[in-house]
């Protein structure tokens, strides 16, 4: 049985932006005020740092970024205890719950956030993504459509909607949404990758695929996200060594990037390095216990390595997270994987 390749966006586990403290200082132009301005600026930064430290949501985000998931959860809980309608805290806790494998709690937090503000595009898009990842494609599409209706210029909502449409084989709608997203963010690596993959797998237009790939190679990858999507493009065009290097670059910039470990495991498995693939899958699952596909792939690998009990346990966990993963096995393995 073939491994599936994971192309989930890094945005799926980026936290919602926390409130920024705006400086109330005016800009002075006269030279003799420069020292005063610098002093005020430093004071402003210190005040902002102190405020961030006192804000449990911002503390939680920082702890998450350092790998302290338990501490992050504690801070998000504290923020919600202070204000049960804090959308930032609810959305961020939902993402953390999902990453920890507590999908029911993740959905409960997003449901609460959307109940408090039915026009919150971020919460709708995030719930749409979680529904897609757990096999509820029709529910995912509904949430993404609502998000797009609220903000037609949300590239996140358009990308998510297109990914769901691809899994539903609604290719014309997906192509329209991807092109709309590209018009909004023409230099976005994720959008470029999705268009390359769509052109290659659905449209079978190899000439257009190659042209887009060459254009993507001219772009300068800076962030962990950029390297991840560039690696994904390399992979679908059979440049496995280049892909593995880009996933390594992504992990170097963000050691908590569980999708990069997942995809690198696929490459290692295909090259025959099954132990290396297992190490990367273990790391991926350690960082995110909520993605059924990681358990699904590890079940395949464990079976090949002779660990039948471990393989069965992983497969059962995959079914718990996504009851449709077995029923839709052909769709998952042979079509566009997101």
The pLDDT score that the predictor gives to residue 213 is: 96
The pLDDT score that the predictor gives to residue 6 is: 56
The pLDDT score that the predictor gives to residue 324 is: 83
**CA-to-CA distance for 100 and 69, rounded, in angstroms?**
8
The pLDDT score that the predictor gives to residue 54 is: 80
**What is the mean predicted confidence (pLDDT) over 207-214?**
95
Write out the two tokens for 42: 């430093």
**What is the mean predicted confidence (pLDDT) over 3-9?**
53
pLDDT at 162 over 50: yes
**What is the mean predicted confidence (pLDDT) over 220-247?**
96
Q: What is the DSSP letter of 19?
A: P
The pLDDT score that the predictor gives to residue 2 is: 55
- C-alpha closest to that of 300 among 264, 266, 259, 335: 266
The pLDDT score that the predictor gives to residue 10 is: 40
What is the pTM assigned to this prediction? Answer: 0.80
The pLDDT-based confidence of 36 (bands split at 50, 70, 90) is very low
pLDDT at 64 over 70: yes
**What is the mean predicted confidence (pLDDT) over 35-40?**
43
Portion of the chain with pLDDT greater than 70, in percent: 81
Comparing 3 with 33, the larger pLDDT belongs to 3
Residue 284, burial from CB neighbour count under 10 angstroms (0-12, 13-18, 19+): buried
pLDDT at 23 over 50: no
pLDDT tens column, 93-137: 999 999 999 999 999 999 999 999 999 999 999 999 999 999 999
pLDDT at 146 over 80: yes
**CA-to-CA distance for 70 and 64, rounded, in angstroms?**
8
pLDDT at 306 over 80: yes
Strand boundaries in 173-226, DSSP class E: none
Contact 158, 164 (CB under 8 A): no
pLDDT tens column, 180-189: 999 999 999 9
pLDDT at 3 over 80: no
Q: Give the sign of the dihedral formed by CA 41, CA 42, CA 47, CA 48.
A: positive
- Topology annotation, domain 119-186: 1.25.40
Question: How many Cβ atoms are within 10 Å of 308's Cβ, its own excluded?
Answer: 10
Q: What residues does CATH 1.25.40.10 cover in the chain?
A: 119-186
- Which of 7-21, 70-84, 274-288, 300-314 is least confident? 7-21
Write out the two tokens for 10: 């890094």
pLDDT at 223 over 60: yes
Residue 127, burial from CB neighbour count under 10 angstroms (0-12, 13-18, 19+): buried
**CA-to-CA distance for 113 and 276, rounded, in angstroms?**
40
Contact 332, 295 (CB under 8 A): no
């Amino acid at each position: 049985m073939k491994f599936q390749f994971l192309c989930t966006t890094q945005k799926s586990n980026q936290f919602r932006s926390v409130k920024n403290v705006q400086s109330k200082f005016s800009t002075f132009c006269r030279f003799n005020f420069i020292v005063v301005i610098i002093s005020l600026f430093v004071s402003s930064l210190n005040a902002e740092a102190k405020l961030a430290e006192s804000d449990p949501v911002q503390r939680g985000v920082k702890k998450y970024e350092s790998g302290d998931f338990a501490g992050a959860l504690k801070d998000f809980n504290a923020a919600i205890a202070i204000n049960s309608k804090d959308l930032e805290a609810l959305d961020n806790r939902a993402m953390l719950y999902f990453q920890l494998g507590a999908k029911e709690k993740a959905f409960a937090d997003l449901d609460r956030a959307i109940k408090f503000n039915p026009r919150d595009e971020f919460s709708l898009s995030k719930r749409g993504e979680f529904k897609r990842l757990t096999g509820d494609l029709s529910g995912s599409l509904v949430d993404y459509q609502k998000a797009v209706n609220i903000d037609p210029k949300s590239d996140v909502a358009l990308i998510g909607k297109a990914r769901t449409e691809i899994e539903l084989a609604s290719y014309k709608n997906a192509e329209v949404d991807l092109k709309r997203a590209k018009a909004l963010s023409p230099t976005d690596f994720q959008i470029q990758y999705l268009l390359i993959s769509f052109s290659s797998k659905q449209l079978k237009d190899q000439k257009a695929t190659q042209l887009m790939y060459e254009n993507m190679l001219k772009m300068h990858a800076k962030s962990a996200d950029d390297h991840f999507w560039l690696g994904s493009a390399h992979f679908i065009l059979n440049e496995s060594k280049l892909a593995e290097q880009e996933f390594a670059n992504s992990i170097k910039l963000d050691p908590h990037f569980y999708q990069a470990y997942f995809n690198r495991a696929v490459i290692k498995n295909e090259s025959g390095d099954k132990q290396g693939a297992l190490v990367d899958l273990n790391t991926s699952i350690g960082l995110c216990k909520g993605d059924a596909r990681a358990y699904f792939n590890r079940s395949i690998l464990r079976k090949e390595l002779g660990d039948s009990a471990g393989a069965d346990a992983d497969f059962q966990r995959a079914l718990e997270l996504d009851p449709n993963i077995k029923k839709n096995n052909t769709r998952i393995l042979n079509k566009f994987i997101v």
